[in-house]
Structures are given as structure tokens and as C-alpha cells.
């Protein structure tokens, strides 16, 4: 025997279960179409029908697009539209915000219904509005369609209204998520554009700097050569007339001009290094080390004893840059020697895992720990020009050059106890020394 009270209770339980299940999905899913389709399925199920849809109000404020639905033939979901006019139940529901039901479409006199509804076999309809965010137009309408004429009770429409409010909350949440995503996307684009723009600007200014550096160095060197040359003539040919004092001044001009020349050379080397395209290949460091030793011997003669210990493991490097790096390190090791003592300099290399560490060690004046951090900076010098002439760019070239080759560098030292400079570069392993490099050497 049918028990109407029991039936009502069952229906209520079904509806409440549906609400709970949908609430979970509405909170968790980020896919609006999934949420809306599931809303239709569950709402239909709760009201005992397999036909339901959500129609979304379009920006024109009148057209309703079937955004999602269940039970429809192809050509409805995502395609069919309804005009929200006064004489449609949808228009009425939108305008009043109240649930609107038609228990039997065929007998309906108040509203007209779109053909696709009839074609799909809908005989009765219940509409509830899905509100929009505060001060926003409604999102649309949740419509439950029945294939049989049927009454929708107040309990049904109350259930559907609660349901539609859940959908509205899910829509608002997704809109907020989408707004954040769009903002993130916009910011990302702005940042990317800035990076591209800055990189291009940097490229332009690099090229300008290059041209500038060459022009400046050329323009500076010409008068410099003249100054130095005339000062030397003064010294050589007019020594007696100049007297002691005049001779010292002329000598100072020569020294200053020489220093200026070194400065120009070092600055050019550094600025070139910063922009120079570094294409590393397999290199035997012994060549660069030997060349550096030769240069230092030529400059300091008996004052230095340099021991280049081979063989050395091959490294991945740019030969010209590596040459400059080792040349600067060996030059420093020879230069910063203790007064009156011969400098003992050792250049050696050892494998360090995937890398090779090349050491340039001396027994010179050493560097106090508190100064070791900054000597790799440009223009950083710890001594007066008189004792150890220099430009303060040598180690900056070392640091930049090593960095450009994907390596690292550092120093171990104590004041008065010599210095051990090291650079570390990727090991070439079994790869053989580049033929180009062989030829260059």
C-alpha cells in the first residue's frame, strides 16, 4: 500500500542527500561545466526525472544559452537558446526571481515554450533562478523538466531554490578563481614583456658600450702615447737640464702613462669578457698555464720561480678566457711576493668529482681573511700603487671569466703566509682535446 507520508519522507531524504553530494562537488571542482552538468543530473534525480538543464544568461541580458544539461538530444547543450521575454516562463522567473512551474506544457496558456523542449519530450517544467554575485545580473536558471505532466510542490521548488543557490555560490567561487588566474596570467605577461624589453635594451646598450669602449680607448691611447713618448725624450735627452727633481717628475709622467695604458687594456678586456660569447669546449689547461708562466717569467725574471705541474685533466672551457684567467692569477702570484724574496709559484690541477680544480699557489704576502671577500670586485686593491702597481681589475676578470665558463673560483690565504687561488671548471672526462685548440696552441 502506498504511504504518502512515507513517500514524502523518502523524497525529502533523497533531496537532502543530493544537496549534500552536490555541495561537496561545488566546493571542490574547478570545472564549471562539470559542476553544472552534475547539478542537472542530481537535481533531476532528486525530483525523479532524467531531464534537466542550466541556462546561462548572456551578456545581452535577454538570451539564455543551454550551458549544461542531462537527458537532451545532441544539438541542445551548448547550442540551443531561449529568449527571456515576458511570455516565457524563463523570462518571468528571471524578472521576478521567483520559482515558476508549468505542470503541463501542452495545457500552458501563460507562456510559450521553445520547440526544442517539446522535441525532447518535456511535458512539465520547474524553473528557479540562479542568482549572480552582489549587484550582478543573475547567472541564469536551473530548469528541471519532466517527461510526464506533473505538479511541482512547494517542497520541490524550495529544494530547487536552495540547490540553485549552491550553484550560484560555486559560480561565484569559480569566477573569483578565474579572476585571480587571469590576473596572474596578466602579471606574468607583463613581467615577460619587461624581461624581453630589458634584455633587448641591455643588448643595445652592450653594443653601444662596446663601440664606446673602443672609441674611448683609441682616443685615450693616442695622447697617452704622446705624453709618455715626450716624457721619455725629456728623460733621455734632457736629463742634465731637468735636474733631479725634473727627472723625477718626468719619470712620474712615464709611470702614470703606463698605468693608464694598463687600465685601458684591463677595462677593455673586462668589458669584452662581459659580452663576449663564451662557447666552451675541451681544453688542456696545461697550455694556458705554461703560457701564463712564460709571461710572468718574462716580466719578473729571477724574482720568480714558477712550477707548472703536468699533466692536467682536460676541462670544458673557452681557451682565450681560460688563458686570460690563468695569466692574471699567475701574474698576481708573481707580483705580490715578499720583499726581497724570490716568489715560489706552483700551478697544478686535480680532479674534483665532475670538475677539475686548478690551483695557483704562491708564498707571497698573503691576504687577510677580512679582505678575501672583496678582492674579486672591480677596482678592489689592497695596496698602494707605489708598492704593487695594478688596476684592481685582474681578479674581476678571473671571477667573471670563470663564471661565464660555468665554473667557480676562490682563495685560501693568511696574511704573510702566501695565497692559494683556485678555479674550478667542468671536467672534460674522456672527451679529447678540441682540434681547434690544438691548432691554436
Binding site for ligand ADP (CB under 6 A): 328, 332-333, 336, 362, 364-367, 375, 380-383, 390-396, 419
Q: Shortest approach of ligand ADP to residue 299 CB, angstroms?
A: 13
Among residues 284, 271, 418, the alpha carbon closest in space to that of 349 is found at 284
Q: Shortest approach of ligand ADP to residue 263 CB, angstroms?
A: 9
Residue placing its CB nearer to ligand ADP in the complex, 14 or 272: 272
Distance of CA 137 to the CA centre of its chain: 40
Q: Shortest approach of ligand ADP to residue 287 CB, angstroms?
A: 22
Residue placing its CB nearer to ligand ADP in the complex, 169 or 268: 268
Q: Shortest approach of ligand ADP to residue 349 CB, angstroms?
A: 18
Residue placing its CB nearer to ligand ADP in the complex, 286 or 399: 399
Residue placing its CB nearer to ligand ADP in the complex, 108 or 380: 380
Residue listed under C-alpha cell 652592450 = 206
CA 287 → CA 272, 290, 313, 440, distances in Å? Answer: 22, 5, 12, 10
Residue placing its CB nearer to ligand ADP in the complex, 36 or 264: 264
Residue placing its CB nearer to ligand ADP in the complex, 290 or 344: 344
Q: Shortest approach of ligand ADP to residue 283 CB, angstroms?
A: 22
Q: Shortest approach of ligand ADP to residue 375 CB, angstroms?
A: 4
Residue placing its CB nearer to ligand ADP in the complex, 141 or 396: 396
Q: Shortest approach of ligand ADP to residue 237 CB, angstroms?
A: 32
Residue placing its CB nearer to ligand ADP in the complex, 326 or 393: 393
Q: Shortest approach of ligand ADP to residue 316 CB, angstroms?
A: 25
Amino acid at each position: 500500500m502506498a504511504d504518502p507520508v512515507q513517500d514524502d519522507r523518502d523524497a525529502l531524504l533523497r533531496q537532502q542527500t543530493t544537496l549534500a553530494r552536490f555541495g561537496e562537488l561545488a566546493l571542490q571542482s574547478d570545472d564549471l561545466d562539470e559542476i553544472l552538468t552534475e547539478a542537472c543530473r542530481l537535481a533531476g534525480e532528486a525530483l525523479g526525472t532524467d531531464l534537466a538543464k542550466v541556462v546561462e544568461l548572456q551578456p545581452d541580458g535577454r538570451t539564455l544559452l543551454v550551458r549544461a544539461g542531462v537527458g537532451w538530444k545532441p544539438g541542445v547543450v551548448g547550442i540551443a537558446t531561449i529568449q527571456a521575454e515576458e511570455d516565457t516562463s524563463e523570462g518571468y522567473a528571471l524578472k521576478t526571481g521567483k520559482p515558476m512551474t508549468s505542470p503541463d506544457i501542452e495545457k500552458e496558456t501563460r507562456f510559450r515554450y521553445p520547440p526544442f523542449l517539446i522535441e525532447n519530450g518535456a511535458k512539465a517544467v520547474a524553473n528557479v533562478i540562479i542568482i549572480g554575485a552582489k549587484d550582478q545580473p543573475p547567472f541564469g536558471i536551473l530548469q528541471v523538466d519532466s517527461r510526464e505532466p506533473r505538479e511541482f510542490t512547494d517542497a520541490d521548488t524550495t529544494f530547487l531554490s536552495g540547490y540553485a543557490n549552491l550553484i550560484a555560490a560555486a559560480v561565484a567561487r569559480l569566477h573569483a578563481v578565474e579572476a585571480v588566474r587571469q590576473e596572474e596570467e596578466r602579471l606574468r605577461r607583463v613581467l615577460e614583456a619587461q624581461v624581453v624589453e630589458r634584455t633587448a635594451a641591455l643588448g643595445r646598450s652592450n653594443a653601444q658600450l662596446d663601440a664606446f669602449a673602443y672609441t674611448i680607448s683609441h682616443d685615450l691611447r693616442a695622447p697617452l702615447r704622446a705624453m709618455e713618448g715626450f716624457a721619455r725624450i725629456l728623460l733621455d735627452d734632457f736629463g742634465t737640464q731637468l735636474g733631479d727633481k725634473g727627472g723625477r717628475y718626468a719619470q712620474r709622467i712615464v709611470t702614470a702613462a703606463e698605468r693608464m695604458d694598463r687600465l685601458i687594456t684591463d677595462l677593455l678586456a673586462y668589458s669584452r669578457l662581459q659580452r663576449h660569447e663564451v662557447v666552451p669546449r675541451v681544453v688542456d689547461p696545461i697550455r694556458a698555464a705554461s703560457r701564463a708562466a712564460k709571461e710572468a717569467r718574462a716580466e719578473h725574471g729571477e724574482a720568480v720561480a714558477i712550477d707548472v705541474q703536468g699533466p692536467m685533466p682536460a676541462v670544458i672551457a673557452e681557451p682565450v678566457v681560460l688563458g686570460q684567467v690563468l695569466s692574471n692569477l699567475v701574474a698576481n702570484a708573481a707580483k705580490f711576493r715578499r720583499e726581497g724574496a724570490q716568489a715560489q709559484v706552483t700551478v697544478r690541477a686535480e680532479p674534483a668529482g665532475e670538475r677539475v680544480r686548478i690551483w695557483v699557489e704562491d708564498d707571497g704576502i698573503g691576504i687577510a681573511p677580512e679582505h678575501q671577500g672583496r678582492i674579486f670586485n672591480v677596482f678592489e686593491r689592497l695596496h698602494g700603487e707605489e708598492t704593487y702597481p695594478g688596476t684592481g681589475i685582474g681578479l674581476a676578470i678571473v671571477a667573471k671569466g670563470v663564471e661565464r665558463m660555468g665554473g667557480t673560483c676562490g682563495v685560501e690565504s693568511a696574511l704573510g703566509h702566501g695565497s692559494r687561488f683556485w678555479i674550478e671548471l667542468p671536467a672534460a672526462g674522456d672527451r679529447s682535446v678540441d682540434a681547434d685548440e690544438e691548432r691554436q696552441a
